[in-house]
């Protein structure tokens, strides 16, 4: 039975790397009809950030990464919050004490610092086991509890990094329990993965360096090893350092608020360092469930390319049915659209759909359909071609457009014919004439195709706006 888990610590926002780990763990479980478990690892109370547990849940839900068991979804192996499982860790710790593999650490922070200094002076890496007390006191919970390591080399297989042999020297007497009464991640996650029957441990590559200690602990506890897969880092756009907030890596919910579709985020995140071996770049969640494999995750870090994200979002927006787009657009309309009829808004969307890169583009692209736009002459003066026209020429062209359109029938086709004859009579290029009419009727930097825009705007408004542009 395949059981995977996502085990975040509620210490902040869920970044893209975290979501990718969650998504991959989810996909591995779903494609095998297994279960995906959410577990909160909250044993480092100092680092906890209020609200982040709710935020993590909301982020997963926003992308449809549904878990089968979790803090708010009871299952056979709960609770799924580490701070509610302290009795379990105590029992496992006792087993290690009983078998002579754990002992109380009697030293003060100053004493440990002195050991560190000693090692440094001798130019050796600090290893606690070299200072292991001969007669440790009985563990009463007020001292840290340490693992008693037996330095040994291990071989293990990582689904992404391949076969790895660890160095015996680095296994150390690491802390299992802190003096604050909470177990460490290093101990608790192994207990939980065993208790929760987790078959695949999928997590960030920062845990690779601790694998020697973990393998020693699995062995001491007599546990079978799960499958391991460590996720390479996600890199900034240049590919030269780990992705940070400054590189545009926002919280997943921020992307949703910024008008990115959940299906874009899923496809984009899945293809950060993974492909299916073909040229395909865009995947639906169902396709990912079928095609994903840990074996095809690249070892090298994946580059986070915002332009690719934007492009992909435009693709997913174009794929939406009119009704679906209307539903998704709900919170993105300009203020003035609130009073408009649904059928009118749907017609606006039909025109704008091809040009939307994010749903947040909606107001900029459509507000002039709902309210009179403020004139912004800069759109003319900063336009490369239009800025070459004199005031008189602009006036002449607008007057000509007004006259021609006044006599036109008002369908998209008839308007196009009128505009085409106007091109001939004025001898202008579309880049000049159509841009000018577009600007004078929308005062927006972008708008859908001109004839469609004017058709929807209506004859009266179109002519009134051109007239107003002429008179100001
Ligand atoms: N709690 C760890 C973290 O948030 C999770 C590591 C794991 O998945 O085992 O980094």
Overall average pLDDT of the 135-147 stretch:
96
* 377 and 361 share one domain: no
Residues 6+ positions from 205 with CB-CB distance below 8 Å: 161, 230, 231, 232, 233
Indicate whether residue 9 lines ligand 1 (CB < 6 A). yes
Residue with CA closest to ligand 1 atom 3: 8
Give the span between the Cα atoms of 316 and 279, in whole angstroms: 18
Q: Could you list the residue range(s) of the whole structural domain that residue 309 is in?
A: 277-288+303-367
Cα–ligand 1 centroid distance for 168 (angstroms): 24
Q: Is the pLDDT of residue 2 over 70?
A: yes
- Return the closest-CA partner of residue 336 out of 307, 304, 374: 374
Cβ atoms of 285 and 292 closer than 8 Å: no
* 430 and 382 share one domain: yes
Cβ atoms of 402 and 471 closer than 8 Å: no
* 376 and 362 share one domain: no
Cβ atoms of 115 and 126 closer than 8 Å: yes
% of the chain with per-residue pLDDT over 70? 99
Overall average pLDDT of the 319-336 stretch:
97
Q: Is the pLDDT of residue 245 over 70?
A: no
Cα–ligand 1 centroid distance for 148 (angstroms): 23
Q: How many domains does the chain have?
A: 3
Is 36 part of a structural domain of the chain?
A: no
Domain boundary among 348, 367, 386: 367
Residues 6+ positions from 420 with CB-CB distance below 8 Å: none
Indicate whether residue 37 lines ligand 1 (CB < 6 A). no
Residue with tokens 């008179």: 471
Cβ atoms of 85 and 77 closer than 8 Å: no
Cα–ligand 1 centroid distance for 344 (angstroms): 49
Mutational pocket test of ligand 1: of 13, 207, 217, the residue with most ligand atoms within 8 Å of the beta carbon: 207
Six token digits for residue 196: 């929760």
Atom of ligand 1 nearest to the CA of 193: 9
* 94 and 217 share one domain: yes
Tens digit of each residue's pLDDT (9 = 90 or more) over 393-425: 999 999 999 999 999 999 999 999 999 999 999
Overall average pLDDT of the 361-366 stretch:
95
Residues counted in the chain: 472
The whole-number pLDDT of residue 248 equals 64
Indicate whether residue 203 lines ligand 1 (CB < 6 A). yes
CATH number at residue 403: 1.10.10.350
* 385 and 343 share one domain: no
* 333 and 417 share one domain: no
Identify the three-state secondary structure at position 4: strand
Tens digit of each residue's pLDDT (9 = 90 or more) over 69-108: 999 999 999 999 999 999 999 999 999 999 999 999 999 9
Cβ atoms of 426 and 433 closer than 8 Å: yes
Is 412 part of a structural domain of the chain?
A: yes
pLDDT band at residue 61, thresholds of 50, 70 and 90? very high
* 168 and 138 share one domain: yes
* 89 and 204 share one domain: yes
Is 263 part of a structural domain of the chain?
A: no
């Amino acid at each position: 039975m395949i059981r995977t888990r996502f085990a975040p610590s509620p210490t902040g926002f869920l970044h893209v790397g975290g979501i990718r780990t969650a998504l991959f763990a989810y996909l591995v479980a779903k494609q095998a009809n297994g279960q995906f478990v959410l577990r909160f690892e909250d044993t480092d109370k100092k680092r906890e950030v209020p609200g982040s547990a709710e935020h993590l849940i909301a982020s997963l839900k926003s992308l449809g990464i549904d878990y089968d068991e979790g803090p708010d979804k009871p299952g056979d192996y709960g609770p799924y919050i580490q701070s509610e499982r302290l009795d379990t860790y105590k029992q496992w710790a006792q087993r290690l004490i009983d078998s002579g593999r754990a002992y109380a650490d009697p030293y003060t922070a100053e004493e440990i610092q002195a050991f560190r200094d000693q090692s440094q002076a001798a130019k050796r890496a600090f290893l606690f086991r070299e200072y292991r007390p001969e007669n440790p006191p009985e563990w009463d919970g007020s001292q840290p509890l340490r693992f008693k390591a037996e330095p040994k080399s291990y071989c293990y297989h990582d689904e992404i990094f391949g076969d790895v042999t660890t160095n015996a020297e680095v296994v150390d007497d690491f802390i299992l329990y802190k003096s604050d009464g909470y177990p460490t991640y290093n101990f608790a996650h192994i207990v939980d993965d065993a208790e929760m029957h987790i078959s695949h441990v999928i997590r960030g590559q920062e845990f690779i360096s601790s694998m020697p200690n973990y393998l020693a602990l699995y062995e001491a506890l007599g546990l079978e090893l799960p499958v391991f897969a460590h996720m390479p880092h996600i890199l900034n756009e240049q590919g030269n350092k780990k992705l940070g907030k400054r590189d545009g890596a926002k919280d997943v919910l921020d992307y949703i608020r910024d008008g990115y579709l959940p299906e874009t985020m899923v496809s984009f995140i899945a293809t950060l360092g993974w492909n299916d071996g073909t040229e395909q770049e865009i995947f639906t969640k169902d396709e990912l469930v079928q095609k994903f494999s840990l074996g095809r995750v690249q070892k090298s870090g994946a580059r986070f390319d915002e332009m690719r994200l934007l492009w992909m979002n435009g693709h997913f927006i174009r794929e939406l049915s009119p009704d679906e787009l209307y539903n998704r657009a709900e919170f993105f309309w300009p203020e003035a659209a609130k009073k408009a009829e649904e059928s009118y808004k749907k017609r606006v969307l039909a025109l704008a759909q091809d040009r939307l890169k994010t749903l947040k583009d909606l107001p900029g692209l459509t507000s002039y359909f709902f309210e009179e736009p403020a004139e912004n002459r800069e759109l003319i003066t900063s336009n490369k071609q239009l800025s070459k026209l004199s005031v008189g020429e602009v006036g002449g062209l607008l007057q000509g457009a007004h006259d021609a359109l006044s006599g036109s029938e008002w369908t998209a086709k008839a308007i196009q014919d009128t505009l085409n004859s106007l091109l001939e009579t004025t001898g202008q290029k579309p880049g000049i004439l159509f841009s000018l009419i577009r600007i004078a009727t929308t005062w927006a930097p972008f708008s859908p195709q001109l004839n469609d825009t004017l058709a929807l705007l209506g004859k009266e408004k179109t002519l009134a706006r051109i007239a107003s542009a002429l008179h100001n």
